Structures are given as structure tokens and as C-alpha cells.
């Protein structure tokens, strides 16, 4: 499991800022989604061959009551609506004959011609890791599953385990490492349930949250844990195993999220998917213990991404061509001596730099401008700016309201440059 250090800013958001404005390090570590690595030492619920099972004498006066309790609650009803749409996603990868595989060399006696033949080419594939996913759409003969990018990363084949244990082959439609999302398609003939997305913009802190998935792999598929929405708009930034940046505007929950829950749904009390489970804090330091801090990609953000993945197999994003820092991380002295903004302006996003030939420069934005609104909606953090941008397409325009010193101004920015064309640009 790859664990990476993070630095919380003064608002408690997990983000690093390399601008000389220091924050307190608590030594926390992130596990991106709790991907469960499969090996030859999987948990086994069966008794060992050395154990002797003997019948017990059940005679006596103590009996089981014949009263049957039919428990129904908002939680059980919510789970019933979505659980059959939750799947396990098995990442299949090729292993060498010299490796210590989970099958103990069962197929290692094949000849080279056997292993290279088209009929047996997939026989070398073994389960490298497992995660979770959720079926969100059926379209004719095809059903679509959303999961995490890190669940499918490196896969040479994908095996999907449906809620009833049926195994089907999955085909990767597209991935987006930046938001840690991926879309898989399978044949729809054995799919009997599809999940519905809820509106993550309307979530309230403290409302119930339910996580469903396959902790520790498909042996524990359809496990349900309950908690609450602990917080909203947590900015999670890090890098994945390939070194690509990850930036998630996350829902925080205390519902237990364990290795293997990656890509599974976070569900509201109506049984709607409000997030895709992706990250948890697994440890901090020797003196600090962390529990109940999991993070999910909000459904509204996920839907925008998966629609693009379905259509194009990739995500193309607009960009301003700037680097930014939250106003909340600027000291009072810096505001007064560098920004010269009004004293009551304590939120917004400071532009640290502007790249040439970018939408921001063409619109006249300058270093140290403080963005406070986009399209008339308040923005308080760089995450807000990112979310506003990612709701747009390349070629769209946005209206940016900002302060330059004490003067408030508004400009229209044409989003004409793809983020991929901007080297060393954050937004």
C-alpha cells in the first residue's frame, strides 16, 4: 500500500503549498482508496485441514425463541436499493513463471509454445489486486461501471464479480488519473440493478452516509458500513503510483473504508450514490492515532468525468494558465504589504503567477489579483475555482470577478487552451 505524507493547511484541508507560507505538519498518511493487493496469503474462513470438527451435544433446556423480528429502517432500505449494483473489480496482471504466484506455480509446467499460444495467452494472468465499483448505467447490451483509476492501473485484463458471485470480463473505457476515476463496460445480460446518482451539492454535514464495497477483496463483497458526512469540500492533493497528480474535492466521512473499498459507492439515506470512495488516512505518527477519516469523490464531480470518459475515453479540461493559493493562507502582513486588499477580504484565491499566451493573460489578469467570484458565484478556495472550471468545456467562457488592490473588477475569460498544452500549470 502506497502511503504518502500530506500537510494540512490552516483550514485543515490536506494540501501542500510550496510558497513559503508554512503550515503545521502532523505526519498523516493517505492510502488512495484502500486498494486490496491479492497474494498467496489471503484470509481463509474455512477451517484448516488439521482441525477436527466434532458434533456438539445440543440437548438441554435452553432453546431459541420462535419470535421472528423483521427489521426495516432507513438504512436497510437504502442498502436494498443499491447493493445489487455494487461489484468487485479484479485487476488481472501477467506474472512470470519465476514469481511466487498465489497459485503456487500451478501452471508453470506449460511449455513455452503453450504459454505463447493464443488459446492460453490469458492463462498467465492472475489477480494482482481488487477494488470495488458500482454499475450506474445500462445501454442496450452494455452496462457501465465507475471505479477508481488506481483500481485498474496496470491491469492487463479486468474481471468483474457481480453481487451474486457471477464473474464477467470487463473492458476499460477510459481513465482520469487527476480525479482518480475510471469507467469499465461489461455485457449487460447478467446485470439486474443499476445505481442512481444523488446530488452531492445538496449534502449536509452530519447526514447519514453508507459505504458499500469489497473490503479485503471479493471474499467480503457487499460489506456495508455506516457513518455520517463528516465534512465537505476537502481538497485532497497527492500523486499516484505513476507520479501523476491527484486532486480530489472530496466528501469526508467516518463510515469505515478499508482496503478493497476503492471505487465503491458512498450512499445517502435514499439509496443514491453521492460519492465514489477513494481515499482514507491510514496513519499519522507514533503519538497520534487517526480513525474514521475516509474521503469520496462527490457524485456531481464524478458524473461530469464519467460522461467524458464514456464519450472520448479521456478528459480534456479548460485551464486559466495560472498558479494559485488560497487567501486564507496569506498572513495579515502579506495582505497589507503585498496585496493591498480591503481588510474585510479574507477569502478568495490569490494568483501567484500568470503564464504567457494563456486565457488568464489574454483576459488581463495579473499576479496578486484575488479572485472572489466566477460566473457570479463566490469562490473561497482554489478547489472552488477548479470545480467551476471543470464544469466548463474548452472554448467556453467564464466571468471572473477579482480584486486588484482595493478595486473590484470583472473580466470575461475565454477558455481556449487545453490544460495539457500548459506546461507546469496547476490551473
- Do 87 and 132 meet the contact criterion of CB atoms below 8 Å apart? yes
Give the CB-side neighbour count of residue 276, counting CA atoms within 13 A.
Answer: 36
- As a three-state string, the secondary structure of the chain is CCEEECCECCCCCECCCCCCCCCCCCCCEEECCCCEECCCCCCCCCCCCCCCCCCCCCCCCCCCCCCCCCCCCHHHHHHHHHHHHEEEEEEEEECCCCCCCCCCCCCCCCCHHHHHCHHHHHHHEEEEEEEEEEEEEEECCEEEEEECHHHHCCCCEEEEECCCCCEEEEEEEEEECCCCEEEEEEEHHHCCCCCCECCHHHCCCCCEEEEEECCCCHHHCCEEEEEEEEEEEEEEEEECCCCCEEEEEEEEECCCCCCCCCCCEEECCCCCEEEEEEEEEEECECCECCCCCEEEEEHHHHHHHHHHHHHHCCCCCECCCEEEEEHHHCCHHHHHHHHCCCCCCCCCEEEEEECCCCHHHHCCCCCCCEEEEECCEECCCHHHHHHHHHCCCCCCEEEEEEEECCEEEEEEEECCCEHHHCCCCCC
262 classed as catalytic: yes
Among the listed residues 124, 129, 150, 231, the single catalytic one is 150
CB atoms inside a 10 Å sphere around CB 258: 21
The one catalytic residue in 88, 132, 262, 387 is 262
Q: For residue 208, what are the CA distances in angstroms to 195, 251, 290, 359?
A: 18, 12, 21, 41
Q: Report the C-alpha gap between 393 and 418 in whole angstroms.
A: 9
Measured CA to CA, the distance from residue 399 to residue 386 in angstroms comes to 14
- Bridge-based pairing of strands 157-161 and 208-213 is unpaired
Catalytic residue among 180, 301, 369, 384: 180
Which residues are part of the catalytic machinery? 150, 180, 262
Amino acid at each position: 500500500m502506497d502511503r504518502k505524507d500530506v500537510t494540512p493547511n490552516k483550514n485543515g484541508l490536506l494540501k501542500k503549498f510550496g510558497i513559503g507560507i508554512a503550515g503545521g505538519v502532523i505526519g498523516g498518511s493517505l492510502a488512495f482508496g484502500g486498494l486490496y493487493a491479492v497474494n498467496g496469503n489471503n484470509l481463509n474462513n474455512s477451517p484448516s485441514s488439521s482441525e477436527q470438527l466434532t458434533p456438539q451435544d445440543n440437548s438441554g433446556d435452553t432453546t431459541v425463541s420462535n419470535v421472528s423480528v423483521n427489521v426495516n429502517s432507513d438504512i436497510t432500505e437504502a442498502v436494498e436499493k443499491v447493493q445489487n449494483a455494487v461489484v468487485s473489480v479484479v485487476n488481472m496482471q501477467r506474472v512470470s513463471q519465476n514469481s511466487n504466484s498465489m497459485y503456487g506455480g500451478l501452471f508453470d509446467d506449460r511449455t513455452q509454445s503453450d504459454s505463447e499460444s493464443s488459446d492460453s495467452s490469458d492463462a498467465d494472468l492472475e489477480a494482482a489486486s481488487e477494488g470495488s465499483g458500482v454499475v450506474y448505467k445500462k445501454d442496450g447490451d452494455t452496462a457501465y461501471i465507475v471505479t477508481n483509476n488506481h483500481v485498474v492501473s496496470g491491469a492487463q485484463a479486468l474481471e468483474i464479480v457481480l453481487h451474486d458471485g457471477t464473474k464477467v470480463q470487463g473492458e476499460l473505457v477510459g481513465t482520469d488519473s487527476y480525479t482518480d476515476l475510471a469507467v469499465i463496460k461489461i455485457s449487460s445480460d447478467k446485470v439486474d440493478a443499476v445505481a442512481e446518482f444523488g446530488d452531492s451539492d445538496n449534502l449536509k454535514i452530519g447526514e447519514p452516509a453508507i459505504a458499500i464495497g469489497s473490503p479485503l477483496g471479493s471474499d467480503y463483497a457487499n460489506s456495508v458500513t455506516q457513518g455520517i458526512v463528516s465534512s465537505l469540500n476537502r481538497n485532497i492533493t497527492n500523486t499516484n503510483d505513476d507520479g501523476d497528480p491527484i486532486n480530489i474535492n472530496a466528501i469526508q466521512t467516518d463510515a469505515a473504508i478499508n482496503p478493497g473499498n476503492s471505487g465503491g459507492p458512498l450512499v445517502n439515506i435514499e439509496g443514491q450514490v453521492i460519492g465514489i470512495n477513494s481515499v482514507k488516512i491510514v496513519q499519522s505518527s507514533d503519538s497520534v492515532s487517526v480513525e474514521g477519516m475516509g474521503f469520496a469523490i462527490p457524485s456531481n464531480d464524478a458524473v461530469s468525468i464519467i460522461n467524458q470518459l464514456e464519450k472520448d475515453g479521456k478528459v480534456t479540461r479548460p485551464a486559466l494558465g495560472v498558479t494559485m493559493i488560497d487567501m486564507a493562507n496569506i498572513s495579515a502582513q502579506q495582505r497589507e504589504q503585498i496585496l493591498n486588499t480591503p481588510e474585510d477580504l479574507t477569502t478568495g484565491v490569490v494568483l501567484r503567477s500568470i503564464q504567457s499566451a494563456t486565457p488568464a493573460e489574454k483576459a488581463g489578469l495579473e499576479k496578486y489579483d484575488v479572485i472572489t467570484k466566477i460566473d457570479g458565484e463566490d469562490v473561497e478556495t482554489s478547489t472552488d475555482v477548479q470545480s467551476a472550471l471543470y464544469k466548463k468545456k474548452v472554448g467556453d467562457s467564464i466571468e471572473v470577478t477579482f480584486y486588484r488592490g482595493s478595486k473590484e473588477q470583472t473580466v470575461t475569460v475565454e477558455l481556449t487552451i487545453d490544460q495539457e498544452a500548459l506546461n507546469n500549470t496547476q490551473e
